């Protein structure tokens, strides 16, 4: 049986890890390299690094910082932010990333998913989808959650799967930073509609929230502030999940 994964997320702005609520009101959470090293030693299964202002600022991801983070890790490492072409992906993989997270660029150019999967393998392509309720519909947002698209979330999740993405990182903007739990109702719909792994993101506040997400079928749970501000340790979380019947790597 494949183990369920716990994935800390480093949202990086100006070279520092930050955390906000509903994608705004950001506060400093520390050094990306120091946190990456800590999470690796604490037993994280993977790590996600998102340069959250790269697309808005129309620049590339911070390559040197990616290299420094990669040097302290021996677990899968996903990097996103400011990636718009195959050369960007190649540069990040050469810098030490194992996967890339594509969001704004694939909404504008869906063919990038297929091109990237053909060149680097589907396992290296993560479709990051930021979802927010708009006029009672779940819509896809891009550019760090600042711009609404015409894309309906369930249809887009199915589309990225068809185009060759290896997994989906699904973030609920409505739940982000609230610590009230993942958007289980929506996640359960996506898990049933796609054939690739789904990573739940947005809203984790206590161990039960991870448990409930795994129980509806997600493959991994991502969290940020909960870990950054020492409100819950990965060791404690995995012990709780194991006790409750979830297969995790201890």
Residue 56 belongs to a domain = yes
Query: Whole domain around residue 124: which residue ranges?
Result: 5-243
Picking from 24-28, 118-122, 206-210, which range would have the lowest pLDDT averaged per residue? 24-28
pTM here is: 0.93
- Is the pLDDT reported for residue 75 higher than 90? yes
Which tens digit of pLDDT belongs to each residue from 150-201? Answer: 999 999 999 999 999 999 999 999 999 899 999 999 999 999 999 999 999 9
Kindly report the CATH number assigned to the domain that includes residue 67: 3.20.20.70
Instruction: Report the SS3 class of residue 6.
Output: strand
Greatest CA span in the chain, whole angstroms? 46
Residue 119 belongs to a domain = yes
CA dihedral of 38, 44, 49, 52, whole degrees rounded to 10: -90
Residue 19 belongs to a domain = yes
> Is 130 known to be catalytic?
yes
Q: Tell me the pairing of strands 24-31 and 16-21.
A: antiparallel
Residue 220 belongs to a domain = yes
Reported as type and span, the H/E element at residue 156 is: helix 153-163
Once rounded to an integer, what is the mean pLDDT over residues 6-20?
85
- Is the pLDDT reported for residue 133 higher than 90? yes
Once rounded to an integer, what is the mean pLDDT over residues 24-37?
80
Partner residues linked to 222 by β-bridges: 7
Once rounded to an integer, what is the mean pLDDT over residues 51-67?
79
Mean pLDDT, the chain, rounded, equals: 93
Partner residues linked to 198 by β-bridges: 168
Q: Give the chain's end-to-end CA distance (angstroms, integer).
A: 14
In the set 88, 130, 176, 183, the catalytic residue is 130
Partner residues linked to 76 by β-bridges: none
- Residue ranges of the alpha helices (H) in 72-110? 86-95, 104-108
pLDDT at 20: 64
Residue 248 belongs to a domain = no
Distance CA 42, CA 48 (A): 15
- Is the pLDDT reported for residue 35 higher than 90? yes
Residue 232 belongs to a domain = yes
Once rounded to an integer, what is the mean pLDDT over residues 86-97?
96
In the set 11, 45, 88, 183, the catalytic residue is 11
Residue 226 belongs to a domain = yes
Residue 46 belongs to a domain = yes
What single DSSP character describes residue 128? E
Question: In the chain, how many domains are there?
Answer: 1
- Is the pLDDT reported for residue 202 higher than 90? yes
């Amino acid at each position: 049986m494949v183990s369920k994964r716990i994935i800390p997320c480093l949202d990086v702005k100006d070279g520092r890890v930050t955390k906000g609520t509903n994608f705004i009101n950001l506060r400093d959470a520390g050094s990306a390299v120091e946190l990456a090293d800590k999470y690796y030693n604490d037993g994280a299964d993977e790590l996600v690094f998102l340069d959250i202002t790269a697309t808005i600022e129309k620049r590339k991801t911070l390559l040197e910082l990616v290299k420094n983070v990669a040097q302290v890790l021996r677990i899968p490492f996903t990097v996103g932010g400011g990636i718009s072409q195959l050369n960007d992906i190649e540069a990040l993989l050469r810098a030490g990333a194992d996967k890339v997270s594509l969001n704004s660029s694939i909404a504008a150019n869906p063919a990038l998913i297929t091109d990237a999967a053909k060149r680097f393998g589907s396992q290296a392509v993560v479709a990051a989808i930021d979802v927010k309720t708009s006029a009672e519909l779940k819509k896809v947002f891009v550019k760090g959650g600042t711009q609404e698209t015409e894309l309906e979330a369930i249809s887009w999740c199915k589309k990225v799967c068809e185009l060759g993405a290896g997994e989906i990182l699904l973030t609920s903007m409505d739940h982000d930073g609230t610590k009230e739990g993942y958007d289980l109702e929506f996640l359960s719909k996506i898990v049933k509609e796609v054939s690739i792994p789904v990573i739940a993101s947005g809203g984790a506040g206590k161990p039960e929230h991870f448990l409930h997400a795994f129980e509806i079928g997600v493959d991994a749970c991502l969290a940020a502030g909960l870990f950054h501000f020492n409100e819950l340790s990965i060791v404690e979380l995995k012990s709780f999940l194991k006790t409750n019947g979830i297969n995790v790597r201890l």
